[in-house]
Structure 1
Amino acid sequence: MLKSVLLAVLLPAFSFAQNIGFSKQDSTDIFMQTAEVSAKQKLNSLLQDPQSQLFLADFQKKFPDAFEKEIRYKQLLSANVDDWEMGLYDERKNQLDFLKNYPAKEKLSADFQKLVETNIRWNYWHLLLAYPIIRSNLDVKLARVVSLPAVMTEALDPQKISDESLLNAEAYRNFLPFFITYFNSQEQKFAKYSDQVKALSDKNNYAQKYLKGKVLDFTITKMVYDNCGRITASAAKYWISQVESDNYRNLLLSHCKETLNKKEEIAKVKEEKTQSSKELLNNSEYPVLVGLDGKPFNFAKYKGKVIYVDFWASWCGPCRQEFPFSRKLHAALSEKQKKNIVFLYISIDEDPANWKNAVEQLKLDNGDHGHSGGGWNSELTRKYQINSIPRYMIIDKNGTIVQPDAVRPSNPATLELLQKLIGVS
C-alpha cells in the first residue's frame, strides 16, 4: 500500500524500479484519477529523490504487508479485536521508530518524512475502523454492526478529522469512508440498514456535519462511487449535485452512467403505467400527484388557498432538517389563517413505499402529501425544473406561482411572506 500511497501520485511517464515501494497501485483511487497535474508533478518531484527511493525499499523489506489492503482485510477476519488493536498499535510504533531512527534520515526531505509519517499514523485508524465494518458486512446473519470498545476510538474527535493537507496520504483517504460508516453507525445504535438509499443518505449527511471542503468532496464522491449501483437514480443525482468539484462530479457521472440510465428507464416505464390516471386531469396545466390514499390530484385542488410546496425525498437529510421549521411556521398561524393555506409536501421518491414510511415515521401531520412518480424524471420535476432538494414553491390563492424557488421554512422572512399572501389575521 505505501507504494500506492506514495507512488500512485506519479505521472504515468515516470517509473520506479520494480522493487521500490510497498504494494500494488490502486486503480480505483478516485483522488488520483482526478488530481491536478500540478499536484502529481509536485509529488513526482518529491519522490524522484534517490534517498526517498532507498527509504521506500528499506521500509518494504522491514514491513512488507503493512499497507496491503487486501492482505490486511483478510487478516482482520481471523483476529479478535483486542489482538488486532494491540498489533496495530505496536506496528505503528515500530514504523514510526523506523522512520525516526533511519540512518540516512537527515538526507530525506521534510515533506517526504511528513508524508510517510502521515500514512503510518492514519493506517492505524484505517485498519482499526475497518475491523468492525468489514466483519459486519460479511456476516449477513448479524442484525447489528460490530462495535469497538469505546476506549479504542475515544482519541478520534469527529470535529478534528477534516484536514485537506492530509489528502495526499492514501491511508487518510482509506480511513475516511470507514470513519463515516462507523461513526454514523454509532449514531444509529449500530443497527444495520435494509434500505441502501437511506444508508448512503445518513452516511453522507454525517459527513456533511463533520467534514468540509475538499475532504467532504472526496468522501461523498467515494461513497457514491462505491454504491451507485445499489441506490436509486434520484439519490445518486442528488448526492452528485452536492459535490462541489467539477472533476469529482464528472467522474461520478461517468462511473454511474450505466446505472443511472437503467434506473431512469425503469422510472419512465412506471410513469407510463400511471398515464391513465393522469388523463383524468389532463384539462389542467398542473402535473398530477398521487395522495396517501392512492387518489390522483393536482394543485387545482387548493384553488382559493395559498400553497406552500415542499419538494423532498425520504433519503434527503437537508429536507428532514427543515421539517421542524415547517411545523413552527404552521403553529405560528392563527386558526383563520390555517384555513387559507396548505402546506403541501411533495415527495420525489422513486419507491412510494419509502415515501409513505417516511411520512409516518417523521409524523408530518401539519399538511397534505403528494407523490410525484418517476423521481427526477417525473413530469413535475421537469416542468418546474427541480434539480435539487429541498426546494420550495409558493402559489397564491389565484393559482399563480408567485415564487418558483421560495425561501425555506427556516428563513425568518417566510412567515411574514405567507401571512401577507393569506391576507387574513
Structure 2
Amino acid sequence: MKLIKGIFFFILLVFVGCSKQRTESNNSITQIEENNVKQKKGKVIIMGKTDDIDAFKYFNVYNHSSLSISMKNYYKDIKVIKDSLFLVIDSITNSQLINIHASSSKSSYDGQLFVSPNDTVVFEIKNKKLKFIGKKANQNNFYASLFDSIPKYNNYSYNGDIHDYKQNVDLFYNKKLNFLNQYVKDKGINSASFISMVKLDLKYQRLYELIKPKENGLIPIVQNEYNNKEEIFDFETYFGNINIDDYKNEDHLKLLSFRSALFSLVKNYYEYSDHTNYSIEKLEAEREFIEKNFKGKIKEFLITSLIFNYNKKGFGRSINSVSYFKKFINKFEKEYPESSSKEDIQIIKDELALYNFELSDLPLDAKFVNNFGDTLTLRKIFARSTKRIKVVDFWASWCSPCISEIMDDKSFKDRLLVENNVEWIYLSIDENYQKWIEKNKKMKHVLNFNNSFFLLKGNKSSLAKSLKVSWIPRYVIFNQEDKIVLNNAPRPSDKENFERIIDNISNNSLN
C-alpha cells in the first residue's frame, strides 16, 4: 500500500513540477502511464492542467455506471496544485463512459470519455477548450469532435410537427453513426468495446429524444396535434416497433443514455394513466407499473429514479404528500437496504424533515454584506419582507450554471414578484469578495444592494450548514411565515414546475 501511494505522489510531483515540459511533449506523460499504471488494478488516474484556475474549484466526475440516485459521483480526494489537478478513481471495474465537468465565470468545460480499469487520462483546458492528450486521446476526444461536427439534438427542437421532429432526430442519428464509422477509420481506433458502447449510447440518445420532444413528454404533443384529425398516431412507426422487454438488459444500466431513455419511456409512454403529473396518484401508478414489469437492478434503478425525480420537481410540499413520500421512501429502504443510493436517499429524507421548519437563531443571524458594505442577516431581510414568499438563491461568481439561472428570463421572476409577492434573495458563497463585487457589476440589471449579498464564511457559515448547502446553484423557498417549504427547490428555469410550487404556497396562505 505504501509503495502504491508513493507511486501516486511521484506521478503528481512529476505532473505538477514539470508543467512546462509537459505542454511541449506528451511523450513523458505517456511513459509515466506505461511504467506505472500496471500496478494499479481497478483504478483510473485523471490528470489535468488549466489556464483557467477557477475551473478546478468546481470539478466533478460523472460516473455513468453508478446507480446512485443522483446519477453522479463526487470525488473529494482531488488534489489541485497551482494549475494542475490529480485524481485517482478506484471504482472503475469495467469499461464505461464517464464525464468530467469544470466550471468558472469564464466558461463551462465538459468532456465525455471512454475508460477502462488501469487507464490514465490526461487533459488540458486551454483557451476555453477542454482537450484530451496522451494515450487514447483519439478515443477520448471522440464526443467533442462529434458535437463540433454535428449539432446536438436540442439545437433542433420540436416546432409543432411531430413527424418533422422525428425526421430531424433520425437524420442526425444517422449522421452521428456515419461520423463514428469515419472517425474510427481515420484515427485507427480498433477497440471493439469502444465502438460497441458508443453505438449503444447513440441509439439510446435517439430514443430519449423521441420520447421527450419537450419537457412534458410525447403524449401531450400527440394528443394536441391529433385532437382534430381522423387518423390515429402510429407509435410503432414512430419508435420503430420497440418492446418493453428490449429494455431489461442490466448490462446496459452502465449507460446514462439507457437509464434516461428507459425512465422517460416508463414515465412518458408506457405508464399512461391520466392522473395529474407529480401527484400521489401518479406516483402510485408509476410504482405499480414498474413493480409489475421489472425486477432486479433495473427495478431498483427505476424506483430510485422516481424518488429523485419527484423530489427534484418539489413533490412533498404539502402535509399529505410529505407523509406519503416518507412512507414511500421507507418502503424502498426496507426492500433495498444496501442500495447504492443510500446517501442520496438520506439527503432527501433530511430535506423532507425540514418541511414547515423554522430556522433557529444561529443561522438566522448569520452575517452577510451588500455591495455598499452594510452588514445584514436573514432575520433582518425576513423582517422587512413580512407576508412574502422568499426564494433564497445560493450561488458564486465562478459557477456558470448559477449565473445562467440568475440571468435567465428576468420577466418571469418579476411576474412572480408582482402576482405572488415573491422576493428573490441572492446569497453568494464566494471566498473572494472582490470577485463577487465585479460579478455584481456585470449583472447589475438583476443584482443590486437590496437583493444581492456576500455570505460571510460562505458554505461554512451557520446558515449554509443548517440548510446543508453542499452544491450550487441551490434554491430554498420559505413561505410567508418564514418556514421552509422546499430546501432543494427546482431551478427557476423549470418555469412551469417552479410556478406551480409558488402558486401552491400562495393558495395555502388563502385557506
TM value normalised by structure 2: 0.40
Structure having the higher Rg: 1
More strand by share: 2
More helix by share: 1
TM value normalised by structure 1: 0.47
